[in-house]
């Protein structure tokens, strides 16, 4: 009796492979009757060549099989081949039959050492017959016809060796991330309108259901058991790298026109909703109240889960230019979701922290306040969702919507810090960055042109500082040039570990030389929140330094988190204090309702050098505030200064040193309320020297502090008579 195996094997000899007959010129061996094929048979497998040969002949599986042969499971890269180390081949060619596929792929893709591949039986189980199973052979079932996430997890797990991460920087721990994710806890909701997004089977079956009408009329419960959202829901396991929905699978209509979305955007928004979806009760949409177009019509469900329906958080209304309602997405971007999210973990903890920070305009606080009134425990109303969607941040809170920052003709110079796009480009190549902003592309903003800008604005998104969601930073440990208002280099910050990125914007727009040489300004010449510049004053000279006086740094906060031998491996002072445990609120302290400091975020770090740090900081802050208030009286001539004039009102005409004293006052009143902590000696000298000059026009190293300023007396180390000496 002739066995089924021999009959099938004979039949396959007459089939024509995709790239030739039974061998290649690239180092592979004959497919059939080869020693390798016999070894595969002996091990209980049929070998991938037999699987491919059959399935290329079936019309229903031809496209699938060809996709597999071109996908990442077969075509790895030039650093993985049949001669690779065993620990590599354990995932890249577990059965050892990868080279049997050489006749079916482009010879240019076959390494000289032979092809390694993740073959069919790795995931589906052996196709050969066993003592109690007839085997597949085209007539019997496969052991695992629909492999689940556990099969994928055999390789896509936390055991990925570190030396492999350069090739796949986001690959480590995917399986573990998934198991801890909300996706792994799904698999319910097997009813008509829920089935599309709450289980794997519905997700794949109804992937092309996009509108409200389709949702209610084309979806039905899945017969039998359903599985959670998992790898195969979003990925094509045969053509590895391809997603549930491909490039251009949906079209989005913006005021700027209709264009295709990327595969990642299309796949994620099949459940999370397009970011520009319009709520039914949106007044802007009442002209078409019967619209059921999911992309320009109704936002359809889950008011209570508003932060998972991204139209409520990921869209800035272009008609409200002075207000930001959400993250401004670029649907055409290759990885619009992975830029900020670990999509396998589906954990938004860091994202919510960011949204609570100044970088995110604290927009989440406004959203949560609007959502707090939703009464329905699940769905809410369209009006509820509309209210959350319209909540956001105005210029009175943060500067992000103050101006049309993407208007290159007017604000190009500002873009490197006031937009995520500008900062990304600056950090990527700071020495060649076009300071005019002319190279910054904001075409993802609706209706944008360089000359007119757009009604939308960006916040400082994750991808401004980070290369991807693993946390890799864009500056790459390089020195960072700092430019003043006139685009002149005024300082270069050396590699200070992860904190180098922070100083890109918190290093200021000028220093003593700028104050002396530039056209005068009613604001601080160094601009905005220049905390980083104050920490590194030996490099930046951020304040107005009076000629002949010593301003050298005598403290060690600029050394926090750094190793003298290898600074690039350290966090640096900014990250060490503001981001313990990678917390992206960036809050270094906690305050009560009255604004009084109650706790330090990284107390353990402070305790390495200090005692009773919280109590001391409260006192020091009061001392700095009181000292700056006294300086303000001299500046405005409330306490008579040597010029007997309001220096603030007459800043353009007063002598240079008086203008410099004004600048030091502006620094604290506009830029850094925490100088007492960032660089207490330098900060104290900035205030002391300004008062010393304004009181009599002479730097004599001695000032009198009135009794009504007890905090200033304490901070300046005044004696009982109120006389303080420069320290």
Tokens of 625: 């505030």
Higher pLDDT, 546 or 273: 546
Binning pLDDT at 50, 70 and 90, where does residue 142 land? confident
pLDDT of 710 over the 90 cut: yes
**What mean pLDDT is reported for the chain?**
86
* Residues written for the chain: 727
pLDDT of residue 624: 96
Name 493's bridge partners: 480
462 pLDDT above the threshold of 80: yes
What pLDDT sits at residue 551? 94
Paired residues of 489 in beta bridges: 483
| Residue 119: pLDDT over 80 | yes
Is the pLDDT at 718 greater than 60, yes or no?
A: yes
First to last CA, the chain: 104
CA distances from 533 to 146, 529, 665, 705 (A): 58, 9, 16, 28
pLDDT greater than 50 at residue 478: yes
Alpha carbon distance 107, 26 (integer Å): 7
Q: What angle do helix axes 349-356 and 363-371 make, rounded to 10 degrees?
A: 100
Confidence band for 595, pLDDT divided at 50, 70 and 90: confident
Q: Which of 491, 477, 505 is nearest to 563 (CA)?
A: 477
The pTM assigned to this predicted structure is: 0.87
Query: Could you report the per-residue pLDDT of 215-256, keeping only the tens digit for each?
Result: 878 899 999 999 999 999 999 999 988 898 888 777 655 444
Give the model's pLDDT for residue 635: 98
For residue 14, is pLDDT > 60?
Answer: no
Q: Which of 474-478, 497-501, 594-598, 639-643 has the highest mean pLDDT?
A: 639-643
The two tokens of residue 106 are 């482009």
Q: How far apart are CA 196 and CA 203, in angstroms?
A: 5
Contact 552, 560 (CB under 8 A): no
Residues 6+ apart with CB under 8 A from 661: 544, 631, 634, 635, 647, 689, 690, 691, 693, 694
Q: How large is the average pLDDT for residues 67-75?
A: 94
Q: And the tokens for 155?
A: 């390789």
What is the rounded average pLDDT of the residues 617-644? 95
25-34, 453-462, 551-560: the lowest-pLDDT one: 25-34
pLDDT for the residue numbered 305: 75
pLDDT tens digits, one per residue of 270-307: 888 888 876 654 444 433 444 434 334 445 556 567 77
Alpha carbon 189 to its chain's center: 31
What is the b/e burial string over 633-656, where b = at least 16 CB atoms within 10 angstroms of the residue's CB? bbbbbeeebeeeeebeeebeebee
Highest mean pLDDT among 45-54, 522-531, 655-664: 655-664
Pairwise CA distance, residues 552 & 515, whole Å: 19
Q: What is the pLDDT of residue 659?
A: 98
Query: Which residues are within 8 A (CB) of 368 and not within 5 positions of it... i.e. 6 or more apart?
Result: none
The DSSP bridge partners found for residue 254 are 257
Structure-model confidence comparison of residues 90 and 131, the more confident one:
90
Percentage of the residues of the chain whose pLDDT score is greater than 70: 87
| 668-691: average pLDDT | 92
Which tokens sit at 12? 């396959």
How many helices (H) does the chain have, and how many strands (E)? 31, 10
The answer to whether the CB of 627 falls within 8 A of the CB of 689 is no
Contact yes or no for 312/385 (Cβ under 8 A): yes
Tell me, what's the pLDDT at 575?
93
Task: Centre a 10 Å sphere on the Cβ of residue 271 and count the other Cβ atoms it contains.
Answer: 19
Residue 42 is predicted with a pLDDT of 86
The answer to whether the beta carbons of residues 506 and 574 sit under 8 Å apart is yes
What average pLDDT score do residues 611-629 get? 87
pLDDT of residue 412: 95
- Distance CA(469)–CA(170), nearest Å, equals 8
Answer with the residue of higher pLDDT: 109 or 380.
109
Q: Looking at the predicted structure, is the pLDDT value of residue 563 above 90?
A: no
445 has pLDDT over 60: yes
For the chain, percent of residues with pLDDT exceeding 90:
58
> Does residue 691 contact residue 607 with C-beta atoms inside 8 Å?
no
Q: Residue 17: is its pLDDT beyond 60?
A: no
What's the average model confidence in pLDDT over 544-564?
87
Evaluate whether 303 touches 368 at the Cβ level (below 8 Å).
Answer: no
Bridge partner list, 702: 725
The 10s digit of each residue's pLDDT in 166-205 is 888 888 899 999 999 999 998 878 888 789 999 999 999 9
Residue 524 in tokens: 């601080």
Alpha carbon distance 652, 459 (integer Å): 34
pLDDT value for 31:
54
Look at 706 and 162; give whichever has higher pLDDT.
706
CA distances from 189 to 228, 247, 628 (A): 10, 28, 61
């Amino acid at each position: 009796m002739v066995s089924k195996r021999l009959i099938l094997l004979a039949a396959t000899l007459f089939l024509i492979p995709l790239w030739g007959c039974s061998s290649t010129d690239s180092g592979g061996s004959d497919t059939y009757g080869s020693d390798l094929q016999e070894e595969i048979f002996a091990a209980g497998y049929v070998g991938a060549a037999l699987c491919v040969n059959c399935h290329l002949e079936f019309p229903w599986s031809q496209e699938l099989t060809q996709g597999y042969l071109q996908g990442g499971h077969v075509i790895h890269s030039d650093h993985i081949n049949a001669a690779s180390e065993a620990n590599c081949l354990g995932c890249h060619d577990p059965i050892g039959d990868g080279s049997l596929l050489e006749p079916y792929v482009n010879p240019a893709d076959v390494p000289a050492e032979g092809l390694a591949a993740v073959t069919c039986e790795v995931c589906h189980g052996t196709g050969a017959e066993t003592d109690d199973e007839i085997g597949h052979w085209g007539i019997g079932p496969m052991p695992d016809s629909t492999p689940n996430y556990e099969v994928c997890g055999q390789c896509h797990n936390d055991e990925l060796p570190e030396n492999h991460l350069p090739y796949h920087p986001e690959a480590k721990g995917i399986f573990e991330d998934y198991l801890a994710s909300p996706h792994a806890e799904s698999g319910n909701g097997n009813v008509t309108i829920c089935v599309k997004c709450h289980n794997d089977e519905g997700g794949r079956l109804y992937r092309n259901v996009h509108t409200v009408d389709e949702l209610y009329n084309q979806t039905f419960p899945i017969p039998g058991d359903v599985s959670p959202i998992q790898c195969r829901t979003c990925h094509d396991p045969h053509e590895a790298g391809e997603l549930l929905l491909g490039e251009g699978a949906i079209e989005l209509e913006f005021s700027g026109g209709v264009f295709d979305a990327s595969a990642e955007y299309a796949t994620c928004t099949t459940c999370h909703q397009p970011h520009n979806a319009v709520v039914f009760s949106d007044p802007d949409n009442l002209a078409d109240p019967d619209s059921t177009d999911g992309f320009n019509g109704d936002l359809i469900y889950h008011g209570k889960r508003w932060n998972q329906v991204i139209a409520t958080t990921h869209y800035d209304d272009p008609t409200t230019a002075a207000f930001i309602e959400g993250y401004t997405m670029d649907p055409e971007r290759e990885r619009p979701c992975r830029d900020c999210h670990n999509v396998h973990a589906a954990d938004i903890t860091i994202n919510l922290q960011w949204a609570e920070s100044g970088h995110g305009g604290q927009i989440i606080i406004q959203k949560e306040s609007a959502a707090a009134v939703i009464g329905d425990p699940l769905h809410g109303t369209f009006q509820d969702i509309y209210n959350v969607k319209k909540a956001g941040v105005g210029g009175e809170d943060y500067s992000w919507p103050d101006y049309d920052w993407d208007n290159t003709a007017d604000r190009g110079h500002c873009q490197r810090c006031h937009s995520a796009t500008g900062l990304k480009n600056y950090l990527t190549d700071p020495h060649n960055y076009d300071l005019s902003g002319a190279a910054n592309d904001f075409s993802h903003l609706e209706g944008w042109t360089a000359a007119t800008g757009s009604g939308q604005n960006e916040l400082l998104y994750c991808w401004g500082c980070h290369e991807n969601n693993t946390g890799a930073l864009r500056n790459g440990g390089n020195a960072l040039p700092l430019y003043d208002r006139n685009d002149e280099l005024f300082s270069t910050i050396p590699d200070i570990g992860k904190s180098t990125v922070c100083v890109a914007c918190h290093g200021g727009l000028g220093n003593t030389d700028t104050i002396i040489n530039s056209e005068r300004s009613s604001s601080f010449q160094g601009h905005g929140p220049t905390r980083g510049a104050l920490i590194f004053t030996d490099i930046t000279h951020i304040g107005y330094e009076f000629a002949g006086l010593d301003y050298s740094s005598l403290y060690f906060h600029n050394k926090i988190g750094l190793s003298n031998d290898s600074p690039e491996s350290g966090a640096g002072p900014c990250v060490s204090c503001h981001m313990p445990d990678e917390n992206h609120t960036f809050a270094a302290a906690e305050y009560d309702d009255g604004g009084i400091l109650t706790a330090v975020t990284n107390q353990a770090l402070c305790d390495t050098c200090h005692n009773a740090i919280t109590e001391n900081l409260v006192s020091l802050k009061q001392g700095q505030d009181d000292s700056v208030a006294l300086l303000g009286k001299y500046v405005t001539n409330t306490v008579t200064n040597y010029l007997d004039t309001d220096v603030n009102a007459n800043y353009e005409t007063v002598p240079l040193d008086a203008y410099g004293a004004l600048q030091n006052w502006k620094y604290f009143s506009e830029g850094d309320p925490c100088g007492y902590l960032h660089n207490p000696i330098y900060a104290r000298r900035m205030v002391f020297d300004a008062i010393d000059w304004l009181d009599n026009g002479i730097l004599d190293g001695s000032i009198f502090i009135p009794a009504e300023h007890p905090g200033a007396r304490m901070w300046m180390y005044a004696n009982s008579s109120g006389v303080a000496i420069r320290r």
